[in-house]
Amino acid sequence: MFHVDNNVISSDNRAMEKIGKKELDILLKLGGHLSTTKDPEEMLNYLLESAEKLMDAEASSILLVDEKRRKLFFASARGEASEKLKGLTVPFGEGIAGWVAREGKPRIVNDTEKEPQFYKGIDNETGFTTKSILCVPLKMGDRVFGVIEILNRRTKVPYTKDDLRLLEIFAGIATRIIVDSKRFHRIVEREEVLRSEIDSRYTLIARSEAMKKVLELADRVAPTDTTVLITGENGTGKELVARYIHRKSRRRNEPFIPVNCSAFPSTLLEAELFGHTKGAFTGAISERKGRFEIADQGTIFLDEVSEIPTEIQVKLLRVLQDKVIEKLGSSEPISVDVRVISATNQNLERKIEEGKFREDFFFRLNVFPIFVPPLRERKEDIPILAEYFLGLFARETKKPVKYISQEVIELFRGYSWPGNVRELQNTIERAVVLAEGDTILPEHIILPSRVKDMPVIGSKKLTEAVREFKRYYIKKILEEAGWNQRKASQILGIQPTYLSRLIKELNITRNKK
């Protein structure tokens, strides 16, 4: 993850010519250690240890500039006072380290008692006695972001300019380590933010018993590597279940690679799944990895698995059995460690009877089946799903929409949702765009079945519009319930006596056949 170029160590020939075999061995060992170590703290510690040996010093430290506070803080330190240095700071511009950070120039001080610029604050805090200092800046271009310092030569030989040049070599290595470390941590932070955003887009919400059962099955199978087949209508959230299983598995930090098998023609699907060599077919101008190879150590999600041609089913069967793929245009086997989760909205057993799906392939896919019920069979989930999508799209559109009116919730409960959760999501997104205040109202809802028979509200006052909608909605529920008022009141979530009163107040009558 972190890379230190060994050429940095030998970049100053004049300084290198001044050192002997012992010093050269130290530098070579440093280069070898840094090339095999990934932990930045360990790198800096070993760097300072090597510098101490090379300079025959008692202690060493790296201080970084805190630009907001105009101070230097100890990022890494060695010596008897190293633990006491944690949390201590040096004023920017003060002392030898502060001066080097401000001026961007190296300094040699062989006798601190004779140096008026020496800052005694750190020695007073730690009880350590600083006698001599060798200090050079850490630079990125013209900007100084810190210093590296060596303290107290054990021998009485004073520090020289050659020592200073050698320490500058160490400063160059330290700079690379610190910069790479900061970049790495930024990448990790961004990855965590991105992962959080992705997880928020793929949240499984369950209040109904039917969906709680789905989550229970997913929780049971997730820790294993068992192959899972998820079935259900379009828009029920099969991919959400697959992602949920992946996030709960030991592969959670590895890739989750979705493939819509219906989106590719037969010839391209094989190349998409397994990759291809250069010249494997017209247009294959270079070698390319397939989705299975990209998903190695992770999970591949084969959506619309019923659309996979039988000749590719044979090859996938081998992947499931032997964990081996072959690129298009090559006979060389490639081992892959991939968990397979597949999904379909089709009846695969019927497909087998029709000769359109291999029975052996089905059995390999259907080791652990999970059925995701349609939204119309789990209407308890509708209000919380609607609230969740409202929050999601309000944030994305930066609109102050916070509420969904009860009339809209009643409308949602009475609708059959042929497009399932995906249709509800799209409906809420449109409503958020249309909403002008903080609440989604019936006039913001656009559903296919409502376009034909919804009353024309026009520019009526709100009370009249709500009355029109109530009349339409209650009549619609009564028709769906076969005009059984007790059943209709259960769907509406109101008392039968209240429904009877509303029927009279709104002058709702049954159409004559």
pLDDT of residue 232: 93
- What average pLDDT does range 142-167 have in this prediction? 88
Tell me how far apart the alpha carbons of residues 41 and 206 are, in angstroms, rounded to a whole number.
44
On the question of pLDDT at 374 being above 80, the answer is yes
pLDDT greater at residue 34 or residue 156: 156
CA 121 to chain centre: 45
pLDDT at 194: 56
Contact yes or no for 32/67 (Cβ under 8 A): no
Amino acid 6: pLDDT: 45
Coil, strand or helix: which one is 243? helix
Torsion of CA 392, 396, 400, 402, to 10 degrees: -10
Report the alpha-carbon distance of residue 48 to residue 46 in Å, rounded.
Answer: 5
Token pair for 3:
């890379």
Write the pLDDT tens digit of every residue in 109-124: 999 999 999 989 899 9
393 or 37, higher pLDDT: 393
Identify which of 182-191, 317-326, 411-420 has the greatest average pLDDT. Answer: 317-326
- Burial annotation 62-74 (CB, 10 A radius, 16+ → b, else e): bbbbeeeeebbbb
140 DSSP β-pair partners: 143
**pLDDT exceeds 60 at position 94:** yes
In this prediction, residue 9 has a pLDDT band, given cuts at 50, 70 and 90, of very low
What pLDDT is attached to residue 111? 92
- Give the lowest-confidence range in 15-19, 133-137, 423-427: 15-19
pLDDT in tens, 303-312: 999 999 999 9
Q: Domains plus CATH for the chain?
A: 6-185 (3.30.450.40), 202-373 (3.40.50.300), 376-451 (1.10.8.60), 455-513 (1.10.10.60)
In this structure, the dihedral spanned by the alpha carbons of residues 473, 475, 480 and 484, taken in order and rounded to 10 degrees, is 130
Confidence of residue 317 (pLDDT cuts 50, 70, 90): very high
Question: 40-49, 261-270, 428-437: lowest mean pLDDT where?
Answer: 40-49
CA angle (438 as vertex; 434, 444 as ends), nearest 5: 30
Q: Which residues are registered as beta bridge partners of 289?
A: 275
Residue-wise pLDDT for 406-432, tens only, equals 999 988 988 888 889 999 999 999 999
Helix 40-55 to helix 161-201 angle, to the nearest 10 degrees?
A: 180
Instruction: Identify the CA nearest to 165 among candidates 17, 32, 61, 26.
Output: 17
pLDDT of 27 > 70? The answer is: no
Q: Is 252 exposed, middle or buried (0-12, 13-18, 19+ CB in 10 A)?
A: middle
Average pLDDT score over residue span 264-280 = 84
462 or 47, which is more confident? 47
Average pLDDT over residues 217-237: 95
Q: How confident is the model at residue 197 (pLDDT cuts 50, 70, 90)?
A: low
Q: What is the DSSP string of 162-193?
A: HHHHHHHHHHHHHHHHHHHHHHHHHHHHHHHH
Mean pLDDT, rounded, for 447-476? 68
Please say if the pLDDT value at position 98 is more than 80.
yes
Per-residue pLDDT at 5 exceeds 60 = no
* Helical ranges in 323-417 per DSSP H: 348-353, 359-365, 382-397, 406-414
Region 251-280: mean pLDDT is 87
Whether the predicted pLDDT of 313 surpasses 80? yes
Higher pLDDT, 357 or 449: 357
H/E segment holding residue 289 = strand 288-289
Q: Encode pLDDT of 29-53 as tens digits.
A: 655 555 555 666 777 787 788 888 8
Question: Residue 46: what pLDDT?
Answer: 77
Query: What gap in Å lies between CA 196 and CA 193, rounded to an integer?
Result: 5
pLDDT of amino acid 454: 55
pTM: 0.56
Percent of the chain whose pLDDT exceeds 70: 84
**Would you give the end-to-end CA distance of the chain in angstroms?**
76
CA distance 147 to 346: 66
Q: Which amino acid is at 75?
A: A
Above 90 in pLDDT, residue 97? yes
Q: Taking 80 as the threshold, does the pLDDT of residue 268 lie above it?
A: yes
Mean pLDDT of the chain: 83
What is the residue-wise DSSP string for 396-459? HHT----EE-HHHHHHHHHS--TTHHHHHHHHHHHHHHH--SSEE-GGG---HHHHHHS---TT
**455-485 CB burial, b ≥16 within 10 A, e <16:** eebeeeeeeebbebbbbbbbbbbbeebeeee
Q: With bands split at pLDDT 50, 70 and 90, how would you rate the model's confidence at 199?
A: low
Local confidence band at 4 (pLDDT 50, 70, 90 cut-offs): very low
Please determine, for residue 436, whether its predicted confidence score (pLDDT) is greater than 80.
Answer: yes
pLDDT at residue 332, as a whole number:
86
Query: DSSP character for 346?
Result: S
Report residue 183's pLDDT band, with 50, 70 and 90 as the boundaries.
low
Integer Cα distance of 280 and 327 in angstroms: 9
Among 13-22, 155-164, 376-385, the least confident range: 13-22
Range 274-289 average pLDDT:
78
Instruction: Please state the rounded mean pLDDT for residues 459-481.
Output: 77
- The number of residues making up the chain comes to 513
